[in-house]
């Protein structure tokens, strides 16, 4: 038994994950437009449900800041669990397509096509979920406190300075793409589920910014805002800055680093895998 098998058991080793992510990037880039759009709408809805779950869990909590944020983060994991295990196209996770592009297996046009279709579908899924949640009057839960929490979340995001939103976007998608990376190392549903929990819980608990989740949080808050307390220009700035930060974090800090480590010479590196 090799040292690597002792370290990783039956999980895929990092060099194998790199190849799997690269190959999956080719499949995703070459998928037909309708398939990408349908699966992207699902992903937007899944992330929105995780965001709503987070909002409900943190509402009215008396457990203290850290514990409340941790529980909220664990709740938000619902979104990525549904995306990864259920199967969907999430823009932020698809930033890992940069590995296949760097290897020359797909073109920049292929990458941009996938990202644009995924982002569009994600936004449609988020806005559709906002509409359903408003019709369901979910904001009235807890005697209306859930709506108050949702409004405060949206207000805080819209007021976030541009630089902070951008950097939080970078850090967020570093953890999101690492969660996807770790899930690619698992064989079973349980493996993938456990791989997702800590990175996603961490980014939510710390307060990093996810562009697709914000397409739920901000429109939901705006839908509940009868006093004009959520800045529309601020919401637009947040979405633009966080999206740019997400792209940078996912493509350079995860896809770029692992491509350099394992794929830059056209074959997995023989160096250490941990």
Q: Which domains does the chain have, with CATH numbers?
A: 12-263 (1.20.1080.10)
Q: Which residue has the tokens 């633009």?
A: 240
Q: At 269, is the pLDDT very low, low, confident or very high (cuts 50, 70, 90)?
A: very low
For 21-78, write each residue's pLDDT tens digit: 999 999 999 999 999 999 999 999 999 999 999 999 999 999 999 999 999 999 999 9
What letter does residue 12 receive in the DSSP assignment? Answer: P
Burial class (CB in 10 A: 0-12, 13-18, 19+), 47: buried
pTM equals 0.92
* Distance between CA atoms of residues 133 and 131, nearest Å: 6
> How confident is the model over 120-139, as a mean pLDDT?
98
Residue 247: which of 179, 172, 158 has the closest Cα? 172
DSSP character string of 88-156: ---TTGGGGGHHHHHTTSS-HHHHHHHHHHHHHHHHHHHHHHHHHHHHTTGGGTTTTHHHHHHHHHHHH
Residue 230: which of 162, 158, 167, 177 has the closest Cα? 158
């Amino acid at each position: 038994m090799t040292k690597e098998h002792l370290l990783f058991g039956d999980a895929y080793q990092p060099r194998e994950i790199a190849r799997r992510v690269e190959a999956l990037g080719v499949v995703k880039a070459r998928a037909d437009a309708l398939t990408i759009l349908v699966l992207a709408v699902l992903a937007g809805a899944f992330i929105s449900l995780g965001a709503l779950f987070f909002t409900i869990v943190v509402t009215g909590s008396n457990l203290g800041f850290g514990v409340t944020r941790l529980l909220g983060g664990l709740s938000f994991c619902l979104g990525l669990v549904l995306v990864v295990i259920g199967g969907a196209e999430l823009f932020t996770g698809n930033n890992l397509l940069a590995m296949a592009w760097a290897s020359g297996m797909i073109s920049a046009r292929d990458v941009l096509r996938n990202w644009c279709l995924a982002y569009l579908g994600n936004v449609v899924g988020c806005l559709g979920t906002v509409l359903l949640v408003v019709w369901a009057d979910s904001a009235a839960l807890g005697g209306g406190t859930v709506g108050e929490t949702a409004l405060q979340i949206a207000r805080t995001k819209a007021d976030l300075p541009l630089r902070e939103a951008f950097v939080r976007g970078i850090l967020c998608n570093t953890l999101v793409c690492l969660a996807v990376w770790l899930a690619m190392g698992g064989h079973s549903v349980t493996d993938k589920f456990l791989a997702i929990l800590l990175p996603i819980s961490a980014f939510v608990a710390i307060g990093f910014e996810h562009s697709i989740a914000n397409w739920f949080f901000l429109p939901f808050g705006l839908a509940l805002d009868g006093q004009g307390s959520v800045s529309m220009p601020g919401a637009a700035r947040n979405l633009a800055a966080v999206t740019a930060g997400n792209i940078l974090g996912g493509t350079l800090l995860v896809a770029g680093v692992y491509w350099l480590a394992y794929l830059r010479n056209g074959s997995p590196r023989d160096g250490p895998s941990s």
